[in-house]
Amino acid sequence: MAIKNAFYAQSGGVTAVINASACGVIETARKHPDQIGKVYAGRNGIIGALREELIDTSEESDDAIRALMHTPGGAFGSCRYKMKNLTENRREYERLVEVFRAHDIGYFFYNGGGDSQDTAFKVSQIADKMGYPITCIGVPKTVDNDLPFTDCCPGFGSVAKYVATSTLEASLDIRSMCESSTKVFILEVMGRHAGWIAAAGGLAGNGRDEPPHIILFPEIPFEREAFLARVEQSVKDYGYCVVVASEGAQYEDGRFVADAGGKDAFGHTQLGGVAPTLANMVKQALGYKFHWAVADYLQRAARHIASATDVEQAYTVGQKAVEMALAGKQAVMPIIVREQSSPYRWHIGEAPLSEVANQEKKMPIHYISDDGFGITEDCREYLQPLIEGEAFPPFENGIPKVAHLKNVLAEKKLKTPFEV
């Protein structure tokens, strides 16, 4: 079997552990020098392939690659770039073939969520439809936890651990303050289409009497009166109320709660934030003093509080992707298969990219309690193992130590630049 180079790229919103998948790919490739030559990483995802901006990872030491295990973000740059179909934009695929051929690339590993797996699937068609032999394997990643087939998505467990931990900590804070000060605390978390991340806030407490007292899911239409009644009841019963709100919380008619319709002093539409919108709603209706937080990127970048389970799974899908490629698989993605929840046991399976692409896994409705404001025991059983184990990064000077890659670009071999 001839030695071929590999192309690896990161795509879509990055996570605390996507670099662990990169580490899994690169370390495993390095163990097979008889089959895989260099691993080129796309600078900024697939854009790097189109522009022939290929980072030569062979320039990085083993230690530097290992440091990816504890470095959040996308070490090679990611992108939001969706490729059209081969028939719609043949020019891009021809460019990919040109670049791959110029750099003798025979393996393509694409690390991302639904849209990215769609790209990986389209690239795999190059082999058949354009006669350029390339092995394409998807590497799953997304904090949204919405990829089909896989039991969970690398990246999600760490956000879930961050959100559960932050909810617990902030709850202890407001509980201390509520007698004479703040009575309502609202934490806004990611998840525009599904409530997986908001649900993780539920792991902070156990049962209705423990915070969070309210979780707002995109799956459950937001009703102002029911929400306010529950806030008021919580303050009466416990002295305070903790709310974890998905950024995707929405009214029955599909309007996002965050679209408050506000204008700033210049008459420009104010870009929302579900947390401040809810906080103002509570203040107007009930008069309670409030605080709110929007975790935004902090939640998905929080490698310092990553789940050890998640880190291990992220590494493993990278490793298995390479092993699948070497075993002659094509257009598949390693997935996580749960054997049992407690004690947690899982193994790696595979799913065809043709079926992964553009499918969204929704949160099962039986994971949400009947009143719509909490999680069920089924949900808890599902989520619990995903946040387990700590994988603290090394620290230096009081902050996490992160990988510093050289990110040297391979010399370009093509004459023409390419506009993306």
Site for its own copies in 348-407 (CB under 8 A): 384, 387-390, 392, 395, 397-400, 402
Q: Between 328 and 417, name the residue whose CB sits nearer to its own copies.
A: 417
Q: Is the peptide bond before 343 cis (omega within 30 degrees of 0)?
A: yes
Beta bridge partner(s), residue 387: none
Q: Is 297 annotated as a binding residue?
A: yes
Please list the alpha-helical segments (H only) found in 17-89.
18-30, 46-50, 62-66
Site for its own copies in 23-52 (CB under 8 A): 44-45, 47
Looking at residue 206, its amino acid is N
- Whether 256 and 197 have beta carbons less than 8 Å apart is answered as no
The site map against its own copies for 158-197 (x = CB under 8 A) is ---x--xxx-xxxxxxxxxx-xxx---x-x----------
Q: Is 190 annotated as a binding residue?
A: yes
Q: Minimum CB separation from its own copies for residue 280, in Å?
A: 6
Strands 395-396 and 399-400: antiparallel
Site for its own copies in 57-116 (CB under 8 A): 71-75, 77-81
The candidate with the shortest Cα–Cα distance to 73, out of 47, 53, 44, is 44
Q: Minimum CB separation from its own copies for residue 281, in Å?
A: 9
Q: Between 71 and 250, name the residue whose CB sits nearer to its own copies.
A: 71
Size of the site for its own copies (CB under 8 A): 83
Taken in order 87, 137, 334, 410, the sign of the CA dihedral is negative
Q: Is 374 annotated as a binding residue?
A: no
Active site residues: 144
Quick one: which segment of 85-93, 97-105, 219-227, 269-277 binds its own copies (CB under 8 A)?
269-277
Residue 9, token pair as written in the block: 């790229």
Beta bridge partner(s), residue 6: 39, 107
Give the DSSP H/E element, type plus range, for residue 347. strand 344-352
Among 35, 58, 125, 270, binds its own copies (CB under 8 A): 270
Please state, in angstroms and as integers, the Cα–Cα distance from residue 307 to each residue in 17, 372, 381, 400, following that order.
9, 27, 16, 16
Q: Minimum CB separation from its own copies for residue 171, in Å?
A: 8
Q: Minimum CB separation from its own copies for residue 106, in Å?
A: 26
Q: Give 83's DSSP letter.
A: -
Quick one: which segment of 28-36, 123-131, 284-292, 354-362 binds its own copies (CB under 8 A)?
284-292
